[in-house]
Structure 1
């Protein structure tokens, strides 16, 4: 038994609306991919500023870069910004990048133009790869950090991860001993920043340990190095000698050299009274690094990172993708505004027979999927490392554009559909409010705002469902060309 013609028309209209959103998603993804390729080329050939003259130092800051993760480009940008920030704080040392051989040549050339020394290496085979599992497979090649011990041209090397923000100069760390690291975990030191004395003997010994399969608690660089220096917790705390001499042995570094961002936010600009406040690291959730636009205002330090990028690299590489998205959203809004007057002229009359529950459910499901898609599609097509203010503006504009298409396709009340959008704007203002005394107060205010907003969101959802039900109980009456529309007591103008 077939469905009534009116039901088929509604299903076709709902399917068309969802298909339009999917088509926009596909075209936006293709445009984002093209823009991503353009960003890589554009950012890779940016000229360096004031870094043309390089001279060899006795010490070096070193970072690593390898390929094979979905976030290679983001970490490439992060390494460049972090290395340039070292010059901003007056670091008197070489800046070295240990790059795997598959890093694009354009990226290598750009880092060399920034004044970095790029050491190309072959990836070390990770014998613990089976222990990583799931999302942690991104740590497969972090054992490339061991190449830092092969940099024997330097007396001391500070090995750093790309997710560090330097608040001040840390050159005094070059006075530390053969190995020094920070304990941000009560039992295990953190390898986001550590000091070492390069030695080919130590490097070859570590390669031998890899071959025999030394115990490794996490399958990555941190578990391996903890096994190499198991007694570091019992070593004395590092205090730089005032006469500038170098220490020997192993030392624990004060917490201020690797402040976990979660501790920092707890007190908002947390200050460690018993040591330096030099470096902040982001070892937690991988999708909340400071360079991602959505991390602000959840992580306020994102603006500090982007300020550094603005001063050093700029955002010229992201402009093409941003323009494509803006034009796409303007086109969606324009088409919606042109189509809306025709839809509002439709006359509706009440059907004498009930519509099947299955058809009503399918149409409601299509409308729900379309509304969810309107809030999710813009998130995935925005360049990841764009400035937060630009990223959030693009996201809100995109949600507004897609929501207008959904409102028009299903004849929904605009205010009810956009209630979540309005609540999101308010949440951004609440989270970005700069005068909280500490992180706890900030969290409590955000929770209170969410609690007060929940009734409005629920009311808007109920109103949307009621509007859909009203539409399902009525059939559109399409008068033929030149034919006068029937006027009945059941007619209603939308």
Structure 2
């Protein structure tokens, strides 16, 4: 199983715990206590899914063939999303709330089970979003959908969004869902208030929610898969990622990743200590006498310095568990980059401050992005841009200083005596 699939499965596991429990003024509250949580799992993925894992009923399904996979605009990561149609085959249930893994519940939303035969929210003014929708299972509807797939019904994006949107083309004209106070179930199709699918990008403009027509209930995180909220690097680039990790901390926790974090931390601390102690010996390996030209040595050492510094910023990023808490992830990243930069500093006798200028710059931009009191997202973006603009000259000067220090060290008589 690929890394992306593994990360999504973790998102699903946390998501299941998230929808099961909520904080309320009176303590922890159970959601859907009398309702099943079902997970549709492809047959070829069953070996990675445990029965009744996280309290979910596992439903094994065969992969539906996607007839749109050869469309010019088709995104391959949506190849399997048509398997959502299996939700209509769950006829043991009167209502099903279909959820994507990147939904974050803010409150108990039991009233969704009172909605009609099909209900969804409009993030786009004209196209409803299939990250969350309510349906009444029906084998008749399910078989008709399979027939539409077989004959190649028009689908603008080749994914579930385009197909289901085309299957319910009149939803925009339907009334807004209001849950009956007596708990009865409605019939027909309804538009869900935007509060049930609050696009995280709306938040980033104002840095607070201002969603009309219903309570703030569910946050969704559409967009680039590498910026999903479960990745540690998504925060503070996207501030709402920390909310997802707050839910995970209360549900799944981080016990699986902590041993790796501790081991890497000890390794990096060991590298710092050993590099400092071995400084005289390792520097001699780089600045030893040679019959080759000074120009060639300059070039080689500059390349070594450049690549070692690049590696210092890339290697820790690759090694850190992708779904660790952002505060742990960034702390481990900066410890790792410092340790590996320390090798270059001591081996090549480089000045510490210029080498660590980029390290300090990254740390600074994180503080600028994480600052919690911006009035809106525009001011936040301008602050980040202003910081980058002011920091750029210092970054350039640090590069020049590092290169000149290498040249001076090579020419220094203590390391490379002049030939007379």
Aligned pairs (5 A) from 1:136-155: 136-155=75-94
Q: Structure 1, unaligned stretches of length 5 or more?
A: 1-67, 479-485
Q: Which has the higher contact order (CA 8 A, sep 6+)?
A: 1
Look up the SS of the partner of 2:49 in the other structure: helix
Look up the SS of the partner of 2:40 in the other structure: strand
1:318 Cα deviation after fit: 0.7
1:269 Cα deviation after fit: 2.5
Q: Deviations over 1:442-467 (max 9, x none)?
A: 22222222222222112111111211
Alignment check: 8 A CA contact 1:179 1:194 kept: yes
1:362 Cα deviation after fit: 4.2
Normalising by structure 2, report the TM-score.
Answer: 0.90
Instruction: State how far apart, in whole Å, the 1-side matches of 2:157 and 2:19 are.
Output: 30
Q: In 2 relative to 1, CA 409–150 (structure 1 residues): closer, same or farther, beyond 3 Å?
A: same
Q: In 2 relative to 1, CA 252–272 (structure 1 residues): closer, same or farther, beyond 3 Å?
A: same
- Determine if the alignment matches structure 1 residue 196 to structure 2 residue 104: no
* 2:40 equivalent in structure 1: 98
Find the partner of 2:71 among 123, 126, 131.
131
Aligned pairs (5 A) from 1:33-48: none
* 1:258 equivalent in structure 2: 197
Q: In 2 relative to 1, CA 191–88 (structure 1 residues): closer, same or farther, beyond 3 Å?
A: same
Look up the SS of the partner of 2:362 in the other structure: helix
Let me know the Cα RMSD of the aligned residues. 2.6
Q: In 2 relative to 1, CA 352–95 (structure 1 residues): closer, same or farther, beyond 3 Å?
A: closer
* 2:55 equivalent in structure 1: 115
Instruction: State how far apart, in whole Å, the 1-side matches of 2:133 and 2:215 are.
Output: 15
* 2:335 equivalent in structure 1: 397
- Determine if the alignment matches structure 1 residue 304 to structure 2 residue 243: yes
Instruction: State how far apart, in whole Å, the 2-side matches of 1:476 and 1:145 are.
Output: 71
Instruction: State how far apart, in whole Å, the 2-side matches of 1:185 and 1:474 are.
Output: 65
* 1:86 equivalent in structure 2: 19
Look up the SS of the partner of 2:248 in the other structure: helix
Q: Structure 2, unaligned stretches of length 5 or more?
A: 23-29
Q: In 2 relative to 1, CA 123–350 (structure 1 residues): closer, same or farther, beyond 3 Å?
A: closer
How many residue pairs match? The answer is: 410
Alignment check: 8 A CA contact 2:121 2:193 kept: yes
Alignment check: 8 A CA contact 1:347 1:476 kept: no
Instruction: State how far apart, in whole Å, the 1-side matches of 2:230 and 2:285 are.
Output: 49
* 1:411 equivalent in structure 2: 349
Look up the SS of the partner of 1:118 in the other structure: strand
Alignment check: 8 A CA contact 1:149 1:197 kept: yes
Find the partner of 2:8 among 45, 70, 75.
75
1:438 Cα deviation after fit: 1.9
- Determine if the alignment matches structure 1 residue 367 to structure 2 residue 309: no
Q: In 2 relative to 1, CA 273–226 (structure 1 residues): closer, same or farther, beyond 3 Å?
A: closer
Q: In 2 relative to 1, CA 368–205 (structure 1 residues): closer, same or farther, beyond 3 Å?
A: same
* 1:35 equivalent in structure 2: none
Larger gyration radius, structure 1 or structure 2:
1
Q: In 2 relative to 1, CA 75–353 (structure 1 residues): closer, same or farther, beyond 3 Å?
A: closer
* 2:392 equivalent in structure 1: 454
Instruction: State how far apart, in whole Å, the 1-side matches of 2:139 and 2:72 are.
Output: 28
Q: Deviations over 1:59-107 (max 9, x none)?
A: xxxxxxxxx6531221111111111111223422321111111224463
Q: Deviations over 1:248-307 (max 9, x none)?
A: 222221111101101012222313133221111000111111111111112222222222
Find the partner of 1:161 among 81, 85, 100.
100
* 2:206 equivalent in structure 1: 267
Q: Deviations over 1:109-144 (max 9, x none)?
A: 3xx14221111111111111223778x312111111
Q: In 2 relative to 1, CA 104–347 (structure 1 residues): closer, same or farther, beyond 3 Å?
A: closer
Instruction: State how far apart, in whole Å, the 2-side matches of 1:148 and 1:345 are.
Output: 67
- Determine if the alignment matches structure 1 residue 429 to structure 2 residue 367: yes
Alignment check: 8 A CA contact 1:354 1:473 kept: no
Aligned pairs (5 A) from 1:303-322: 303-322=242-261
* 1:464 equivalent in structure 2: 402
* 2:278 equivalent in structure 1: 339
Find the partner of 1:225 among 164, 179, 194.
164
Look up the SS of the partner of 2:256 in the other structure: helix
Instruction: State how far apart, in whole Å, the 2-side matches of 1:77 and 1:351 are.
Output: 54
Look up the SS of the partner of 1:245 in the other structure: coil
Alignment check: 8 A CA contact 2:194 2:213 kept: no
Instruction: State how far apart, in whole Å, the 1-side matches of 2:412 and 2:70 are.
Output: 59
* 2:26 equivalent in structure 1: none
